[in-house]
């Protein structure tokens, strides 16, 4: 019954143009996915990483440039099975159009109320050694790998 009320569907990528946070552990997992061949837009990742954790700078970028670096063809997630926890736990029950940030502004959306998931997420982030915006954290993890590895993906950095 809950699934019927969730607006999030395959191909809907409105929230994939917002700034999301991940932990250093999630960044390491995503780097492993990249090394294993997951599709990632390195140009966009670098552009987004330059905004750091600054939401104001992030939303100055064009809507297209703000797309998650893992947003692939057909607006699908190239790391869906290993997507960050925030992408797993936020389920919109309001109209999907409210998730869009084309104008650089986040709208008020109704999320499925998940107290347990929220508490787990809070503990996860609180106990993480570091967390921050996905592009910043991912770029940092890739640069660490670059220092210790000669992987072809890392060499493109």
Q: Which residues, at least 6 apart from 108, have a Cβ–Cβ distance to it below 8 Å?
A: 98
Measured distance CA(146)–CA(139) in Å, rounded: 10
At residue 112 the predicted structure's pLDDT band, cuts being 50, 70 and 90, is low
Structure tokens at 142: 């890739």
Give the chain's largest Cα–Cα span. 49
Average pLDDT over the chain reads 85
One-character DSSP codes across 14-71 = GGGGS--EEEHHHHHHHHHHHHTT----HHHHHHHHTTTT-HHHHTTS-TTTTS-TTB
| 28-77 pLDDT per residue, tens | 999 999 999 999 999 999 999 999 999 999 999 999 999 999 999 889 99
Domain ranges of the chain: 2-142
Most confident of 49-63, 77-91, 117-131: 49-63
Query: Dihedrals φ, ψ of 22, to 5°?
Result: -135, 165
């Amino acid at each position: 019954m809950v699934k019927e009320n969730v607006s999030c569907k395959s191909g809907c990528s409105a929230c994939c143009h917002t700034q999301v946070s991940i932990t250093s552990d999630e960044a390491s997992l995503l780097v492993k996915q990249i090394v294993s061949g997951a599709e990632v837009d390195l140009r966009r990742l670098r552009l987004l990483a330059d905004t750091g954790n600054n939401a104001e700078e992030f939303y100055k970028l064009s809507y297209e440039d703000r797309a998650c670096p893992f947003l692939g063809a057909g607006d699908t997630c190239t790391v869906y099975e290993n997507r960050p926890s925030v992408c797993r736990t936020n389920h919109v029950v309001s109209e999907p159009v409210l998730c869009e940030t084309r104008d650089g502004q986040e709208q008020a959306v109704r999320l499925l109320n998940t107290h347990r998931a929220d508490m787990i997420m809070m503990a996860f982030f609180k106990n993480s050694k570091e967390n921050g915006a996905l592009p910043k954290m991912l770029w940092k993890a890739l640069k660490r790998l670059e220092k210790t590895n000669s992987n072809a993906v890392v060499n493109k950095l």
